[in-house]
Amino acid sequence: MKKFPIFCLAALLLFLPHPASAGWGDALKQAGSDLADQQAKEAGLSYTPSEAMEGVREMLSIGTDYGVSSLTSGSGFSANPATSLSLPAALSNLPGSSDLLSAMNTAATDAVPETGDLFQGTIRDLPVTDPTSLLGGSSTAITKYFEASSRESLKSMVKPVVEKCASAAGVDAYLTPLNAAMQAAGSGPGFDVNDYLTDKVLDSMFLYMGEKETALRRSGGAGASALLQKLL
């Protein structure tokens, strides 16, 4: 049987349609992952890189669920001074500001469940080059990595959700006359409520995710999967 020249294989790959090329890429990544796992086992390590990656994703997923639960139950955002919403000083003393703040709280709370879904989808596809170092890092190392690598893309996805919820809560109806009064008084530019709420939702989710990561590390993964308990 004749051998197929390697340069012919390379040329063939160049002309493969994109989905097929992606398939080759996935296969190569899987082969590399399998090799790294095998080497870890042969070295007698307590867990493999694949298990570490699964543990990182589980930590983030649990933290996301905790953030959603914390922000949508009880007093929600108002329950924690670190997540409580506020208004610019120039707006806070104007008539009608309390109604605006109430509508903002409703909008933020209503945006959280869908935000949680977006977080979970991002976590499933999150690339992590060294999950082992994250597991051995600080009490919030995994959350901080997730925020640093994903915040901008998450913001672009979460902002439309916030805008939809703000519209449903009537935020603009309260804000428009207040912004006009603030600008007429020369108290500064208008308040971009959608941008503020988007950042607040993200900040609050990451805050609670960090709290949950810290608690899981301290407890050795109590209540989590057997794998995460082994990793911690």
From the DSSP assignment, how many helices (H) and strands (E) are in the chain?
10, 0
3-class SS at 73? coil
Using a pLDDT cut of 70, give the percent of the chain over it.
79
On the question of pLDDT at 200 being above 70, the answer is yes
Instruction: Tell the burial category of 143 from Cβ atoms under 10 Å away from its Cβ (0-12, 13-18, 19+).
Output: buried
Higher pLDDT, 64 or 183: 64
pTM of the model: 0.81
The Cα–Cα gap between 74 and 196 comes to 22
On the question of pLDDT at 9 being above 60, the answer is no
What is the average pLDDT across 11-29? 44
pLDDT in tens, 110-160: 999 999 999 999 999 999 989 999 999 999 999 999 999 999 999 999 999
Q: What's the confidence (pLDDT) of residue 38?
A: 53
Higher pLDDT, 187 or 44: 187
On the question of pLDDT at 92 being above 50, the answer is yes
How far is C-alpha 115 from the chain's CA centre?
8
The Cα–Cα gap between 166 and 41 comes to 52
The Cα–Cα gap between 72 and 67 comes to 9
Q: Which of 14-18, 153-157, 199-203 has the lowest mean pLDDT?
A: 14-18
Alpha-carbon Rg for the chain in angstroms: 24
